[in-house]
Amino acid sequence: MSIYLDYAATAPLRPEVRALLARCYAQDWGNASSLHRDGHAARMHFEDARERIARVLGARVEEIIFTSGATEANNLAILGWMRQQPRGSHLIVSGIEHPSTWEAAEALTYEGFQLDIAPVDSSGRVDVAGLLHRVRANTALVSLMAVNNEVGTIQPVAELARLARGWKLHVDAVQSGLVGWPELAGIDMLSLSAHKLGGPVGSGCLFLRQGLRLAPLLIGGAQEDHRRAGTSNVIGALALAEALEATGRQRSEETGRLTELRDQLEAKLGAIDGAVRLGSERSPHISSWFFEGVRAEPLLVLFDLEGISVSSGSACSSHSVEPSRVVSAMGFSPEQARGLIRFSLGHASTEKEVDFAGRRAGLLVEKARRQGGTEN
Ligand SMILES: Cc1ncc(COP(=O)(O)O)c(C=O)c1O
């Protein structure tokens, strides 16, 4: 039995995307910059993908910049925007951002920019008053994710977007497929990634409000109106468009179905001795826990031996024993932050899978405890 419960790390391809990729790799492999007919056909497909994505988001076509994913989109938004500002300018990111936002912001401090971290409460929600308290006269950017990838908490993006202000707002909307893309009014930049939505890894985009200019990260070509050099990933763009549209079409059905599955899973996990669930007002696809006295790594191995793939938070940090930065920012102890186990669901998750994982979880937690999975 193989059960995949790690959709927040990456999702299997949706059937419509798999069919599209098979078709495109056979036919639509031209270089969109070439002047011959194959290049022209590729360019038409590429611009069609851009149009479809703009339509889904409610943006203009020229506001969509294709990237290799959300890491690049977040880097481009943060580094690209701040490097256009006077040195010494200030930015604010929340304490629960993905490393692609967090580390880009931190890197800017070595270039003479000033960084503040917005506080979060114990449910993993950014404290808007605390964030606004940190705004200065020279604040140029605030970056806040729409849904946190480790605990699933929905963030007050709309509240920030409604404020009249001098700074720009960047939103990482990678995990908000099930709760819906944020309304773009009041948002200046927004990052998306295909592979969290049932598309392929290596394709994403940045919405950049018309009239704003970024310092490019990649140079050496005129693609994306000189904002992102490199041969256009035509097939990746089409797959991103397909995954976004499919996510939108199936959202209400998937949200209802996954909320039920998550609740079933949580009923079983919540009955385990010493189980603590993290987050509130969450996207239905993420359910994160710690189990008192148990560290994440040995428990992950036990789940894996049963054929159940879960994770210890963000995939990027799951090869290390570092405590989760997100859980630490929520005020939990380093020991608790080392115990984070994330179950995440998606388009192909079934009741049978969730039932099996939920029923095995209690035994596995007990086993991990017997094996002494903690340093205490
Ligand atoms: C919230 C969030 N932002 C950004 C990323 C990075 O996306 P990508 O894998 O497309 O670079 C991830 C992926 O883990 C994520 O969950």
Of 316, 355, 356, 374, which one is the catalytic site residue? 316
pLDDT of residue 30: 84
List of long-range contacts for 38-46, beta carbons under 8 Å, 24+ apart: 42/232, 42/234, 45/234, 45/237, 45/238, 46/232, 46/234, 46/237, 46/238
Same domain, 78 and 225: yes
Residues 231, 146, single domain; the answer is yes
- Ligand 1 test: best mutation among 7, 71, 153, 171, most atoms within 8 Å of CB? 71
238 and 276 share one domain? no
CA–centroid distance, residue 69 to ligand 1 (Å): 7
pTM above 0.85, yes or no: yes
- What number does the ligand 1 atom closest to the CA of 9 have? 14
Work out how many domains the chain is built from and give that number. Answer: 2
Residues 144 and 33 in one domain: yes
What CATH code is carried by the domain that includes residue 132?
3.40.640.10
Ranges of H-type helices in 83-217 = 99-109, 128-133, 157-161
Pick the last residue of a domain from 212, 229, 246: 246
- Whether residue 228 is found in the same domain as residue 285: no
**Same structural domain, 50 and 71:** yes
Residues 315 and 213 in one domain: no
Verify that 291 and 324 share a domain, yes or no. Answer: yes
Q: Is residue 90 part of a domain?
A: yes
Q: Which of 227, 246, 265 is the last residue of a domain?
A: 246
* 226 and 202, same domain (yes or no): yes
| Residue 375, domain member (yes or no) | no
Helices (H), the chain: 15-27, 37-57, 70-82, 99-109, 128-133, 157-161, 223-226, 234-270, 296-305, 325-329, 334-337, 351-370
Query: What is the CA(273)–ligand 1 centre distance, in A?
Result: 33
CA of 133 to the centre of ligand 1 (A): 28
**The last residue of a domain, from among 246, 276, 297:** 246
- Domain ranges, residue 287: 3-10+251-370
**159 in any annotated domain:** yes
What pLDDT is attached to residue 1? 78
> How much is the pLDDT for 319?
57
Q: How far is the CA of 204 from the centre of ligand 1 (A)?
A: 10
CA of 202 to the centre of ligand 1 (A): 11
**155/19 same-domain check:** yes
Return the residue whose CA atom lies nearest to atom 11 of ligand 1.
71
Evaluate whether residue 224 is within a structural domain. Answer: yes
Ligand 1 mutation target, pool 75, 192, 193, most atoms within 8 A of CB: 193
Mean pLDDT by 10 residues, the chain (376 residues): 95 97 87 88 94 98 98 98 98 96 98 97 96 97 97 97 93 97 97 98 98 97 96 97 97 97 97 95 96 93 96 62 84 88 97 97 95 58
Residue 356 lies in a domain: yes
Report if residue 337 sits inside a domain: yes
In a domain, 278, yes or no: yes
316 in active site: yes
In a domain, 272, yes or no: yes
Residues 62 and 38 placed together within one structural domain of the fold: yes
Ligand 1 pocket list (CB less than 6 A)? 69-71, 74, 98, 100, 145, 149, 172, 174-175, 193, 204, 314-315
